[in-house]
A and B are shown apart, each in its own frame.
Chain A
Amino acid sequence: EVQLVESGGGLVQPGGSLRLSCAASGFTFSSYWMSWVRQAPGKGLEWVANIKQDGSEKYYVDSVKGRFTISRDNAKNSLYLQMNSLRAEDTAVYYCASSRDSTFDYWGQGTLVTVSS
Chain B
Amino acid sequence: SYVLTQPPSVSVAPGKTARITCGGNNIGSKSVHWYQQKPGQAPVLVIYYDSDRPSGIPERFSGSNSGNTATLTISRVEAGDEADYYCQVWDSSSNGGVFGGGTKLTVL
Q: How many A-B contacts if CB must be within 8 Å?
A: 63
Q: Which stretch in B38-46, B58-66, B72-80 binds the other chain?
A: B38-46
Q: Is A55 an interface residue (CB 8 A)?
A: no
* Complex alpha-carbon distance, A4 and B41, angstroms: 13
Q: Is B23 an interface residue (CB 8 A)?
A: no
Are A45 and B33 neighbours in the complex by a CB distance under 8 Å? Answer: no
Q: Is A95 an interface residue (CB 8 A)?
A: yes
Chain A residues whose CB sits within 8 angstroms of the CB of B98 once the complex forms: 47
Chain B residues whose CB sits within 8 angstroms of the CB of A110 once the complex forms: 42
Given A35-B97, A44-B86, A50-B96, A104 and B102 contact (CB-CB distance below 8 Å): no
Are A45 and B102 neighbours in the complex by a CB distance under 8 Å? Answer: yes
Chain A residues touching B, majority SS: strand
Are A103 and B42 neighbours in the complex by a CB distance under 8 Å? Answer: no
Are A45 and B86 neighbours in the complex by a CB distance under 8 Å? Answer: yes
Shortest CB distance A50–B (Å): 6
Are B45 and A105 neighbours in the complex by a CB distance under 8 Å? Answer: yes
Count residues of chain A with CB under 8 A from any CB of chain B.
24
Chain A residues whose CB sits within 8 angstroms of the CB of B94 once the complex forms: 59, 61-62
Are A104 and B43 neighbours in the complex by a CB distance under 8 Å? Answer: yes
Q: Is B89 an interface residue (CB 8 A)?
A: yes
Chain B residues whose CB sits within 8 angstroms of the CB of A35 once the complex forms: 96-97
Q: Which of A47, A105, A108 contacts B96 (CB 8 A)?
A: A47
Q: Is A107 an interface residue (CB 8 A)?
A: yes
Contacts A44-B102, A103-B45 given; 17 further ones with Cβ under 8 A?
Answer: A35-B96, A35-B97, A44-B100, A45-B35, A45-B37, A45-B86, A47-B99, A50-B95, A57-B95, A59-B95, A95-B43, A103-B88, A104-B35, A104-B43, A104-B88, A109-B41, A109-B42
Interface residues of B (CB under 8 A from A): 31, 33, 35, 37, 41-45, 48-49, 54, 86, 88-90, 94-102
